[in-house]
Structure 1
């Protein structure tokens, strides 16, 4: 698998594939009777996706579903509709969590992780491009490929790993918390450098990427 260096490229292909499919069960209304701590019984009908979202809110906040609904009732304006209010609560919580995740897993933060690494480190996109690399990576190339000119290093450079990126992502997703070791090679100006690299899933919400830490060269 050959990777062409174009640092800063954005992935555009396959964006539609990342859009979640909606199952009929997500939109199917479900009726539930919920009893509050005070003993008041409320019958509520919501689409399945909203019950799923409220279950996530309950798990994250430590509140029971009954307590969560009591909280919503206390916020409900006069003549307000409880079911609609719960839908708004579920969506607002989801948007808040998404904003937090996007902040934590932004490309800028990923680049900071790459730059902070003391060893040669790269970020590879699913479509086989070097998204980020650090100064230690450039230093390795200068020393081992004898190319002092940075322009030579970033033009015509071919970076290949023995494991396909898509396959690496599948293995890493199936084994969370465990990196994948594989071989790599870098070619430029007729010279080639080979070694070992440890790959882990990159914390980036914009596109699927892996972080590669060179362990031996």
Structure 2
């Protein structure tokens, strides 16, 4: 008999999947002496904040020392420089995350799909169709003439590819910037349609998905 996970187990599993692991070494503040604006300062911060400040300085085209100098210049007299740098770096990371999530949203992904003149779909890890474009609907109307409601049918028809979705995700994740071509099959009652589809990792942050452009049908 299959064991059903209890509430506590499910909560623990969800927490472990959502939270990254943290090594003890990452919790220890590291002292660094930095020079900026002609002044030398000693600052103690955890490694993750030094990494963040490094990215900030690289993006801004200045040194970490100059970044610390300008931050200290704007700090109130009663302020704590280390605390201010932590807050500053975290706010910068959050702003970058917001920008990336906006670009990698399902709304933008759908726009990319609709811009394609060829039939295209977005497939989930569970092999379901998440999104499709107007060219895909036109293909269905043309090749599966017995369809009444094309829009509704597109969400419920049987769509499969010759290569397992998990395998495609694994191969493309290991070969960033590459695509994979495989066969596909659409089934609807006694009707069927086969062809070739070019797959790539979908630029979406919600979950691993594939974007596929149908090349032959």
TM category, shorter: 0.7 to 0.9
The residue matched to 2:121 in structure 1 has which SS? strand
Task: Tell me what 2:36 maps to.
Answer: 36
Q: How does 1:103-122 map to 2 (within 5 A)?
A: 103-122=102-121
Moved segments of 4+, more than 3 Å? 13-16
Map of 1:138-217 to 2, 5 A cutoff?
138-150=137-149, 153-154=153-154, 156-217=156-217
Specify every segment of 5 or more residues in structure 1 that has no aligned partner in the other structure, as ranges. 1-12
Relative contact order, higher structure (CA 8 A, sep 6+): 1
Structure 1 pair 36–100 and aligned structure 2 pair: CA distance change class (3 A): same
Offset of residue 18 of structure 1: 4.9
Q: Residues of 2 paired with 1:123 and 1:16: CA distance?
A: 28
What number of residue pairs does the alignment pair up? 204
Q: Which runs of 5+ in 2 are unaligned?
A: 1-12
Which residue of structure 2 aligns with residue 92 of structure 1? 91
Q: Deviations over 1:153-178 (max 9, x none)?
A: 24651100122222212222222222
Scaled by the length of structure 2, the TM-score of the pair is: 0.86
Shift of 1:15: 8.7
Equivalent residues in 2 for 1:31-70, closer than 5 Å: 31-38=31-38, 40-70=39-69
- Is contact 1:141–1:147 with CA below 8 Å preserved after alignment? no
CA drift of 1:30 comes to 1.1
1:84 positional shift: 0.3
Residue 8 of structure 2: aligned partner? none
Measure how far apart 1:185 and its partner are.
0.7
* Paired residues of 2:129 and 2:155 also in contact (CA < 8 A): no
Q: Distance in 2 between matches of 1:193 and 1:181?
A: 17
Cα RMSD, aligned residues only: 2.0
Taking structure 1 as the reference length, what is the TM-score of the superposition? 0.86
Residue 112 and residue 165 in structure 1: after superposition, are their counterparts in 2 closer, same or farther (change >3 A)?
same
Match of 1:26 in 2: 26
Paired with 1:15 and 1:150, the residues of 2 have a C-alpha distance of 42
